[in-house]
Structure 1
């Protein structure tokens, strides 16, 4: 089916931070008809606070200033002064090297943090309500001979689209479809048996230093808290243990994927956690999803039909300049046929894959180092 003379139908599966940011960028492009399909029935006030690093805020700006504005309107400055430099440090909580800083990341001025639910609310407000659909869990994908796509949801509803962008998370249906059920990188893995305990506490009892740690390098099971278990820990670490012990009911295992061999095929692509799930050791999960959205927004912008009201992009101006030696007589002059934008979608996604897969997978390798530090793995922590 040709997309000439009509808007391109883009389906984004997953309405998290990455999916909503991309949608908020694409709704500004007149040649795109974008819709977001989110599996939950409503957003809930859960999830960690996010401290987004500079690459994340730059990506927001590239998607559109309105994205960055939504973040800054809801974020809080972590330091007392806007120009104060801050970083995240990993230090040893017990033993002969107690207090030693073994890793540092994210050193920057003016660092801000935002509640995930607040950022989602801000991004949601940027998208017309008729383009955001809740309770839409994807169950099947069918690619037609003309490369367009039929998608079916659990409620039986079907949609016919020109392309599909998957921001559907660590348990991605689209990733399983693209890689296949038997591919070793399809399903998430918890190689080290990580378990996250998270709760919300009043600041009057929780204000202080946030500390993560492990009791020993070979700890792989959950142990009950007993008097004396953590008596050798620093006071700040003991305070965190006491706070966690108040409520251990809200916990979950965390996982990541082995690297995927590709992020796109024909008119389907993976983004965010569906492409490169992140363990929370380097503060880059949301940032990488935003970088994906920034690249995709820029690429879709290149598919806009030429318009008198829309100045050509730098790449188009360059192309026009290189063709300026061509001339036609007034009798023979005709507009050169432009390619069907839909036929360019596979090339667009290949460009996305070429740009984002190496960088996002490098970010994953960097997180392996931080994970080893946090777990006190031999060879990473000396002393």
Structure 2
């Protein structure tokens, strides 16, 4: 009987946890996950799980989809794009609707809840916190020895970097001299707040904040963006506002403070209910960073996935979805691998099939952000041009056939192993 294939995942966020969940379905894989923080936890914005991502969860298995449901995901019955400024303020630009019996394009879930449920059934002996990866050695027999900041080590056959946008594994694969080894500031910034449902509904209005007709609303302003959606089973409303700071590109800042007077000035021409939704004291905001296109996601038996491979701006709600698609392909291909040689082939095929799609989406999201903030060169705040240019940006993402992509990846691996 062949020894188990030992897989180490560096990074205990949603991408790494989803991959762990999928890999544990294969008995011949000995999988461990390492998180640099003292606990496995997430923070920050809620995330959209779009139609393609829901399909990926279904293909991973029923237990993966159940994690989303237990996390209190709220099905969105559409995303309405609205004009917030100009002569036609309040007009709908377009609506992204789902297809199928539940008419759903996206489920909204708080990332911390989803992570908790994804890891709920994982044996504790496979989860290792306070383990910040520093480097790894390639041994003569082809195995890897991981070195952590606390001085401990771990031996494995495959290392998968799911360690986020500031990924150590990405830098080790690409090298410190490769520009794409490091993220870049997109100049977009945002402020996120969570409000009790009743309070948000009273401010913004029942016609838009309505659990029975749960829809995400995105408002396009002159250099501004505002979005609100229901999450946590209808208990909370997430409100996200943002804009652009083109001077931030070279500053290297990850956070910014948004003074109250700046917020009032940015949103002064919005409808009253939207202005009331952002009337807060000075707030801490975040810059949206992304990864430049990398020449590869894999090197031998080491690869990156999720945000470590293709961190993206949030404009097309695709960060989590791409991670789930990665988890489907990686778990399928590694599930076919019996040893290190076959695992290397699996990572080669993973890079071949995932890199073009994910890097396209990163680029698309960047451009979409300018459009949704009223800064598109062709569109500005022209409602007819916005209608023409906005909606066609989503089908490539949400209409993706994950089952076909998975089966094609399997066929490519079979050919690789037979050659």
Q: TM-score, normalised by structure 1?
A: 0.80
Q: Name the structure where strand makes up a greater proportion of residues.
A: 2
Aligned counterpart, 1:202: 196
Query: Following the alignment from structure 1 to structure 2, what is the Cα–Cα distance between the partners of residues 53 and 123?
Result: 18
Aligned counterpart, 2:347: 349
Query: Following the alignment from structure 1 to structure 2, what is the Cα–Cα distance between the partners of residues 120 and 26?
Result: 16
Aligned counterpart, 2:35: 38
Change in Cα spacing, 1:228 to 1:377, as seen in structure 2 (3 Å) is: closer
Residues 281 and 367, structure 1, Cα contact 8 Å, conserved in 2: yes
3-state secondary structure, aligned to 1:156: coil
Structure 1 residues 312-345: Cα deviation after superposition (integer angstroms, max 9, x where no partner): xxxxxxxxxxxxxxxxxxxxxxxxxxxxx21112
Structure 1 residues 187-229: Cα deviation after superposition (integer angstroms, max 9, x where no partner): 11113x2222122222222234555555448952776443665
- Runs of 5+ unmatched residues, structure 1: 80-85, 305-340
Q: Does 1:248 align with 2:292?
A: no
* Equivalence map 1:40-119=2 (5 Å): 40-44=37-41, 46-78=43-75, 86-102=77-93, 104-105=95-96, 107-108=98-99, 109-110=103-104, 111-119=106-114
Aligned pair partner of 2:300 in 253, 256, 266: 266
Aligned counterpart, 1:311: none
CA RMSD of aligned residues (A): 2.4
Residues 21 and 290, structure 1, Cα contact 8 Å, conserved in 2: yes
3-state secondary structure, aligned to 2:16: helix
Change in Cα spacing, 1:167 to 1:99, as seen in structure 2 (3 Å) is: same
Aligned pair partner of 1:279 in 313, 338, 348: 313
Aligned counterpart, 1:313: none
Residues 13 and 168, structure 1, Cα contact 8 Å, conserved in 2: yes
Query: Following the alignment from structure 1 to structure 2, what is the Cα–Cα distance between the partners of residues 61 and 229?
Result: 42
3-state secondary structure, aligned to 2:320: helix
Q: Name the structure where helix makes up a greater proportion of residues.
A: 2
Alignment: residue pair count: 334
Query: Which structure is larger by alpha-carbon Rg, 1 or 2?
Result: 1
Structure 1 residues 217-244: Cα deviation after superposition (integer angstroms, max 9, x where no partner): 89527764436653321133213322xx
- Aligned-residue offset at 1:45: 6.2
Change in Cα spacing, 1:235 to 1:258, as seen in structure 2 (3 Å) is: same
Aligned counterpart, 1:22: 19
Q: Does 1:157 align with 2:152?
A: yes
- Aligned-residue offset at 1:162: 0.4
3-state secondary structure, aligned to 1:258: coil
Structure 1 runs (4+) deviating above 6 angstroms are none
- Aligned-residue offset at 1:32: 0.7
Residues 8 and 31, structure 1, Cα contact 8 Å, conserved in 2: yes
Q: Does 1:166 align with 2:157?
A: no
Aligned counterpart, 2:416: none
- Aligned-residue offset at 1:246: 4.2
Change in Cα spacing, 1:69 to 1:347, as seen in structure 2 (3 Å) is: same
Change in Cα spacing, 1:119 to 1:378, as seen in structure 2 (3 Å) is: closer
Q: Does 1:238 align with 2:233?
A: no
3-state secondary structure, aligned to 1:200: strand
- Aligned-residue offset at 1:351: 0.6
Q: Does 1:147 align with 2:172?
A: no
Aligned pair partner of 1:10 in 7, 11, 23: 7
Aligned counterpart, 2:324: 290
Residues 49 and 320, structure 2, Cα contact 8 Å, conserved in 1: yes
